[in-house]
Chains A and B, each alone.
Chain A
Amino acid sequence: MDPVIGIDLGTTNSVLATVEAGVPHIIQNRAGYKLTPSIVAVAPNGKQLVGQLAKRQAVTNPKETVSAAKRLIGRKYGSAEVQRVRENMQYQVEGGEHDDVHILLGGKNLTVPEVSAIVLSELRKDAEAHFGQSVTKAVITVPAYFNDTQRQATKDAGRIAGLDVLRIINEPTSAALAYLSGRPATTESSLLVVFDLGGGTFDVSILEVSSGVYRVIATGGDSFLGGEDFDQRILDWLVFGFAKETQVDLRRDRMAMQRLKEAAEKAKCDLSAASETQINLPFLHSPEGGGPAIHLMRTLGRQKLEELTADLVDRTIRICEATLSDAGLSASRIADVLLVGGQTRMPRLQDRVRSLFGREPLRGAHPEEVVALGAALQGESLTAEESKMLLLDVTPLSLGITVAGGYSAVLIPKNTTVPTSATHTFTTVRDFQTSVKIMVLQGESARAEENELLGEFLLSGFRPAPRGEVNIDVTFSISADGIVSVAARDRETGLEQSITVTASSGLTPEELKKIIEDQHDQLLEQRQQNEVSQLTGKLRSQIGELEQIFPEVRTIIAKSEFGPDALAKAEQTLTRAKEVLTGADLSALVVAGDQLESTLNLFRGILSKLGGPR
């Protein structure tokens, strides 16, 4: 059976896992690490770097180093979130054709799914190195609070990376799966809360688990709240303090900012164990007009960090409370609370969670790894002939359509188990109306414009009839991946209605196809280059051998009556082969190689028969 992998495509780090002999485990990358930084860079020499290598050179090459692409995936360029991260970003982005985000990297203009695909390709290669065979089947995780566009974009990234994405699953659900898979199955049902604060996103999910069924009751979160925001608070504090002390605004110094960013992250991690940490950055900034370089030296206490990030922690707790109330449960009903994601190492956060639920939260030894393990388990379960495990996840956001007056009419409320569908009947309001436009929304606001517009669809080609006589049943479906699709049919005639997507913020199918084709072209080109270099090498050694034995053969033949024609022909072959070497024509290389080989065989024969003792 083909291997199946689970991928936790994180904001900061990505993790790869699989299930072998029924046991889920992490696959290390080729450098021997379990975590692969989700960073892509193009080095000054034009070489593409991914992961650890990209991270290592980030300080010296901030403009060509892309990190945290997950914060941009599936978002509109004009959105407040994207504009906010842009302020602190060292690499360059611009708006695309349908208000999507494009990243400028190594002189190329890439969509966010293409950048994420580079990370996924790297992980795929790690998996192939582990299995020693080609790997395509994968389950990829996303934050539970991701909307349709973000999920679709993540799936697109997988496809661009040459993966067959079996399923997009939610990170907290995945974590619950991995955490509980080791436990013996009981028929007794119990309630579990997963509190997942990763690098860029926060999710909280409430699950009920009994005899192999993992049923999500409610999900909440903020797809723009994570460890990176905590780092940012420290960074701002350092920049502000530095400015007060030295009147230097570091924000314009890209390299200094990159060093500060790393220092902030490290300080935050230190403070999970220590109560105080030193931040030392010698020669941080060289004044423009010359003069001695300025150093940065500060002490950050845990209490100060808690002060700086108090509102972020508050937000997670408020979301927890709201999700509990959505589920109609009180905190005391929860049997277990599972902490997932690196940021949950923060002691203050653990305290708040403990006091909210009145119990000690659980955390595995490696909160960064459980998500990938769960994804691998789900992949295994899906491809297994008979599976005892079943995930019943929910849609995190309500799905609706715009109705006249600018309101949103909800068709599928949030926390509905997926896959699911709902049918809404549209009626013509004018005589001989032939089309209707549907705007599909996701979000909880009653005002249409405050929700995320997933797409605009044009239903057209209605049969001409007086108003009210044409009824079009439009079915909105949400797949188990959490991805929305729309189908329409005329109620009387039963005919499918054509649907045209007139606006969408993601990649269109055509664009995706083109990207994948380009990717294939690139692969083919690369393969051809490899073959050419292989053949050239072989040809070189053949030429070398022939040139070496040529004089000897010439003397032997000169003594015999054996045809000088053959000698002339051999010389010709040699010259032609040398010519071919300068080009990169694959077929010419093959022909020249074959000719050289037969000449060599002939000469070797002559030498062994007539050459006498050598």
Chain B
Amino acid sequence: MDPVLIPGVGKPGDQLRLSRLDFQGLGLTTQELSIASRLAQGPLTAEDLLASSGLPRTEAIGYLSRLIASGVLARVTVEAIHGSSAPARPPTVAAEFTLDVQAVDLSPERQREITELLVRAETGDPRVLLGVSPTAGPDEIKAAYLRLSQRFHPDQFFRKRLGSYREKVDRLFNQFTVAFQRLSRPQESAQVAAPAPEPLDEEEEEAAAEAAEAALGPVERIKRHLFNGSLEDAQEAFAEAEFVDPENLELPKLRQELKRRRDETTAVEEYQRGLESDKRSDYYSAFRYYSLAASLDPRNPTYVERAARSLVYQGEYKEAKRLAERAVELSPNDPETHATLANVYLHAGLEKNARRELERVIELAPKHPFAKLQLRKLRWKF
């Protein structure tokens, strides 16, 4: 009779509504934000929300329960909705806005729109914010940006009383601009490009592959995923293994391996960010990314060497020398590490040491342009 309880959420017919709008600092994931944003228009039942999330059911349930636990969503039980007395309408988002209405020159609809857009901005997906499809072309994206600007540019509220919405409108327009730039600047758009729409017949193939995989034991699957480099799947399989086969002797080793691989991936990401920062000549940030990468993956000489190099640009020669020496230690036959160390010496004015390192570079790579140039310069000096 009673519908089955959804763990951590409640009954499928329970209504969920947003109970707070300040999401920053809660550390919500993209998926959680996208679920929360669906409620900006008004409450939905848990069942509808799960169905419309577009995510696997169990995964969506997990997000939902976390959102309820963190107080972002509030639950109104089926009983309260269909109570015997006059049905107490669950407070909607709009009702909460009315508290603010007297204070600002903004219609409640406008306030709700602004809030909803800010929720969409939180997803970090520029296409979601601008409300364009993953396949939208440049013209469509630009049209969406201009349309939103025309409605929400701070000039449209020039010298009006906006209260807390002043800051929100400013932030929103900035987000539009950032989103538009990310989508329209070709060199960066690669990172945010939509996942290519998959042809239909592949879906069947995938289903078949999944079925075949399920036949394997979880430990085997971890190894396979690790081999394929799909760390997310490996992690999932690991969780399953811990549950069904906790005594397996291979698990501790696999856990370590998994962590190392994840760290390595993160290190690559940090390294990429560092490279980007370097491109912007933001050596300060670059150093932070490189040293993060180096701490995640201490065996990789490139990270250490890059960190050293970015410190040279900042004039922190002592620390740069330490790092450059470590890079040389890690990879003694790489001319680049020696070149970096030489560069540190040059900047610090230790010409003798610099010459030694430069000569080592030439030994390893006789045509190294930096080393050749610097050695020539040093010769002129003596």
Decide if A43 is an interface residue (CB 8 Å cutoff).
no
CB contacts (< 8 Å) of A391 on chain B: these are: 155
CB contacts (< 8 Å) of A382 on chain B: these are: 155, 158-159
CB contacts (< 8 Å) of B312 on chain A: these are: 405
CB contacts (< 8 Å) of A419 on chain B: these are: 154, 170, 173-174
* A210→B315 CA distance, assembly (Å): 49
Q: Smallest CB-CB separation from A385: which chain B residue?
A: B160
* Residues 257 to 278 of chain B near chain A (Cβ within 8 Å): none
**Contact: B314 with A210, CB < 8 Å?**
no
**Contact: A409 with B281, CB < 8 Å?**
yes
Decide if B284 is an interface residue (CB 8 Å cutoff).
yes
Decide if A408 is an interface residue (CB 8 Å cutoff).
yes
CB contacts (< 8 Å) of B153 on chain A: these are: 390, 392
**Contact: B281 with A410, CB < 8 Å?**
yes
**Contact: B283 with A405, CB < 8 Å?**
yes
Please, what's the 1-or-0 string for A399-410, where 1 marks a CB less than 8 Å from any CB in chain B?
000011111111
Decide if B31 is an interface residue (CB 8 Å cutoff).
no
Task: Give 5 nearest A-B pairs by CB, closest first.
Answer: A404-B314, A409-B282, A405-B315, A403-B284, A405-B314
* A195→B275 CA distance, assembly (Å): 37
Chain A residues touching B, majority SS = strand
16 pairs, CB–CB < 8 Å, chain A vs chain B: A166-B158, A210-B146, A213-B146, A382-B158, A383-B159, A387-B155, A390-B155, A405-B314, A406-B315, A407-B313, A409-B280, A409-B281, A410-B281, A416-B177, A419-B173, A419-B174
Decide if B316 is an interface residue (CB 8 Å cutoff).
yes
* Distance to closest chain A CB from B348 (angstroms): 13
Decide if B285 is an interface residue (CB 8 Å cutoff).
yes
* A408→B281 CA distance, assembly (Å): 7
Known: A215-B146, A419-B170. A387 touches B284 (CB 8 A): no
Decide if B288 is an interface residue (CB 8 Å cutoff).
yes
Q: Smallest CB-CB separation from A403: which chain B residue?
A: B284
* Distance to closest chain A CB from B67 (angstroms): 23
**Contact: A480 with B155, CB < 8 Å?**
yes
**Contact: A407 with B173, CB < 8 Å?**
no
Q: Smallest CB-CB separation from B313: which chain A residue?
A: A405
* Residues 146 to 174 of chain A near chain B (Cβ within 8 Å): 166
* Residues 404 to 462 of chain A near chain B (Cβ within 8 Å): 404-410, 416-417, 419-421, 424, 427, 446
Candidate in A213, A405, A427 with the most chain B CB atoms within 10 angstroms: A405
Q: How many A-B residue pairs have CB under 8 A?
A: 72
Decide if B135 is an interface residue (CB 8 Å cutoff).
no
CB contacts (< 8 Å) of B149 on chain A: these are: 213, 390, 392
* Distance to closest chain A CB from B183 (angstroms): 14
Decide if A3 is an interface residue (CB 8 Å cutoff).
no
CB contacts (< 8 Å) of B315 on chain A: these are: 404-406
CB contacts (< 8 Å) of A424 on chain B: these are: 285
CB contacts (< 8 Å) of A427 on chain B: these are: 288
Please, what's the 1-or-0 string for A207-245, where 1 marks a CB less than 8 Å from any CB in chain B?
000111101000000000000000000000000000000
Q: Smallest CB-CB separation from B177: which chain A residue?
A: A417
* Distance to closest chain A CB from B169 (angstroms): 10
CB contacts (< 8 Å) of B316 on chain A: these are: 404
Please, what's the 1-or-0 string for A379-391, where 1 marks a CB less than 8 Å from any CB in chain B?
0011100011011
* Residues 341 to 395 of chain A near chain B (Cβ within 8 Å): 381-383, 387-388, 390-392
CB contacts (< 8 Å) of B285 on chain A: these are: 409, 424
Decide if B150 is an interface residue (CB 8 Å cutoff).
yes
**Contact: B314 with A403, CB < 8 Å?**
yes
Decide if B30 is an interface residue (CB 8 Å cutoff).
no
Decide if B156 is an interface residue (CB 8 Å cutoff).
yes
* Distance to closest chain A CB from B210 (angstroms): 42
CB contacts (< 8 Å) of B155 on chain A: these are: 381-382, 387, 390-391, 480
CB contacts (< 8 Å) of A408 on chain B: these are: 281
Q: Smallest CB-CB separation from A187: which chain B residue?
A: B143
Candidate in B146, B156, B170 with the most chain A CB atoms within 10 angstroms: B146
- Residues of A in contact (CB 8 Å), total 31
* A416→B282 CA distance, assembly (Å): 18
**Contact: B314 with A410, CB < 8 Å?**
no
* Residues 310 to 332 of chain B near chain A (Cβ within 8 Å): 312-316
* A409→B159 CA distance, assembly (Å): 34
**Contact: A446 with B281, CB < 8 Å?**
yes
Please, what's the 1-or-0 string for B331-370, where 1 marks a CB less than 8 Å from any CB in chain A?
0000000000000000000000000000000000000000
**Contact: A383 with B174, CB < 8 Å?**
no
* A480→B288 CA distance, assembly (Å): 32
CB contacts (< 8 Å) of A407 on chain B: these are: 281, 283, 313-314
CB contacts (< 8 Å) of B283 on chain A: these are: 403-405, 407, 409
**Contact: A383 with B158, CB < 8 Å?**
yes
* Residues 510 to 568 of chain A near chain B (Cβ within 8 Å): none
* A387→B315 CA distance, assembly (Å): 52
CB contacts (< 8 Å) of A381 on chain B: these are: 155
Supplied contacts A383-B159, A405-B313, A410-B281, 6 more A-B pairs, CB within 8 Å: A387-B155, A391-B155, A392-B153, A408-B281, A409-B280, A419-B173
* A63→B149 CA distance, assembly (Å): 51
* A416→B314 CA distance, assembly (Å): 27
* A446→B280 CA distance, assembly (Å): 9
**Contact: A420 with B177, CB < 8 Å?**
yes
CB contacts (< 8 Å) of A212 on chain B: these are: 150
Candidate in B155, B177, B313, B314 with the most chain A CB atoms within 10 angstroms: B155
* Distance to closest chain B CB from A209 (angstroms): 11
* Residues 290 to 325 of chain B near chain A (Cβ within 8 Å): 312-316
Q: Smallest CB-CB separation from B314: which chain A residue?
A: A404
CB contacts (< 8 Å) of B159 on chain A: these are: 382-383
* A327→B99 CA distance, assembly (Å): 45
**Contact: A410 with B282, CB < 8 Å?**
yes
Please, what's the 1-or-0 string for B67-87, where 1 marks a CB less than 8 Å from any CB in chain A?
000000000000000000000
**Contact: A390 with B281, CB < 8 Å?**
no
* A337→B79 CA distance, assembly (Å): 69
**Contact: B284 with A409, CB < 8 Å?**
yes
CB contacts (< 8 Å) of B280 on chain A: these are: 409-410
CB contacts (< 8 Å) of B313 on chain A: these are: 403-405, 407
Per a CB cutoff under 8 Å, which of B156, B174, B288 touches A387?
B156
* Distance to closest chain B CB from A420 (angstroms): 6
CB contacts (< 8 Å) of B288 on chain A: these are: 427
Candidate in A210, A383, A404, A410 with the most chain B CB atoms within 10 angstroms: A404
Q: Smallest CB-CB separation from A382: which chain B residue?
A: B158
* A373→B177 CA distance, assembly (Å): 28
Q: Smallest CB-CB separation from B176: which chain A residue?
A: A417
CB contacts (< 8 Å) of B173 on chain A: these are: 419
* A340→B94 CA distance, assembly (Å): 50
Candidate in B150, B159, B288 with the most chain A CB atoms within 10 angstroms: B150
Please, what's the 1-or-0 string for B230-245, where 1 marks a CB less than 8 Å from any CB in chain A?
0000000000000000
Please, what's the 1-or-0 string for B169-206, where 1 marks a CB less than 8 Å from any CB in chain A?
01001100100010000000000000000000000000
Known: A390-B153, A392-B149. A421 touches B158 (CB 8 A): no
* A27→B281 CA distance, assembly (Å): 49
* A383→B156 CA distance, assembly (Å): 9
CB contacts (< 8 Å) of A480 on chain B: these are: 154-155
CB contacts (< 8 Å) of B281 on chain A: these are: 407-410, 446
Candidate in B181, B282, B288, B316 with the most chain A CB atoms within 10 angstroms: B282
* A416→B181 CA distance, assembly (Å): 9
CB contacts (< 8 Å) of B174 on chain A: these are: 419-421
* Distance to closest chain A CB from B166 (angstroms): 12
* Distance to closest chain A CB from B107 (angstroms): 12
* A529→B155 CA distance, assembly (Å): 43
* Distance to closest chain A CB from B293 (angstroms): 16
* A388→B173 CA distance, assembly (Å): 17
Candidate in A166, A383, A409 with the most chain B CB atoms within 10 angstroms: A409
* A151→B193 CA distance, assembly (Å): 38
* A480→B159 CA distance, assembly (Å): 13
* A417→B285 CA distance, assembly (Å): 24
* A252→B316 CA distance, assembly (Å): 53
CB contacts (< 8 Å) of A405 on chain B: these are: 283, 312-315
* Distance to closest chain A CB from B264 (angstroms): 23
